[in-house]
Amino acid sequence: MKNCHEFLKSKSWLDTDLDGRFINIDHPYAILISDTEGQITLRGNTGFDNGQNGEEIFSFTSVKELQEWFENNIGE
């Protein structure tokens, strides 16, 4: 999942707590990365918990799937 971390950082998504929860203040989502499960989850960011308890929107199993979602939904 190292590539995923690098991809998100290149898009200005930050893991400020260093716990696998990436946020970008310009987007209403949080991206959670589980290195042990090999899963990437897009959740609604409720603002106070960086998406930990937010509603799951999408789940990805590869960086490629996440990149495609970015291109199709965020335009980046």
The Cα 21–Cα 43 span in angstroms is 10
pLDDT tens-digit series, residues 66-75: 999 999 988 7
- Give the number of other Cβ atoms within 10 Å of residue 66's Cβ: 21
* N-terminal to C-terminal alpha carbon distance within the chain: 20
Q: What residues does each domain of the chain span?
A: 2-74
pLDDT of 28: 87
Q: How far is CA 40 from the centre of its chain?
A: 7
pLDDT of 47: 65
Amino acid 46 reads: T
Residue among 30, 29, 37 at smallest CA distance from 1:
37
pLDDT of 65: 93
pLDDT tens-digit series, residues 8-59: 999 999 998 898 999 998 888 899 998 888 889 999 876 677 777 778 888 9
